[in-house]
Amino acid sequence: MTLMSRAQLGFILLVAAASLLEVSEAKTIVVGGSEGWSFGFNYTDWALQNSPFYINDELVFKYDPPSKTNSGYSVYLLPNLWSYITCDFSKAKILASETQGKGGGFKVELNQWRPYYFASGNKDGYNCKNGLMKLFAVPLPRWNY
């Protein structure tokens, strides 16, 4: 096989694989289900039970604003796995403040095939470290069978 025919074959395989991508509607998923985004809930277990997530799915973070019984929650996007493991918010990007989770919640579209690391950064990372308020998702492409 010549170099050109290998490239052509590779291109044909790429086009065939791309044509299998499904253009179906994305799902809207409430993080934590009926528990919402709350202190002490195990989001790792929840994610394992509710996966896989797909590209263009939307995660909804619902949480109550600060009160006498809750110190307030937020949603940060952490830059990498190490930041997620250690609850290091030094290079994190805030996505939703303490008040943006009320009502319909704060929505995040998983629009790329990459890992997403989310955590609540309140109380200097206490919610993340001790309250298990962290979640990661790696959305997959939708395939037509």
Render pLDDT for 64-114 as a digit per residue (tens, 0 to 9): 998 888 889 999 999 999 999 999 999 999 999 999 999 999 999 999 999
Selection from 125, 46, 31, 120 nearest residue 86 by Cα: 125
In this prediction, residue 7 carries a pLDDT of: 47
User: What one-letter code names the amino acid at 90?
Assistant: S
Per-residue pLDDT at 125 exceeds 50: yes
Per-residue pLDDT at 123 exceeds 60: yes
In this prediction, residue 21 carries a pLDDT of: 47
Report d(CA 19, CA 144) in Å as an integer.
9
**Other beta carbons within 10 Å of 11:** 10
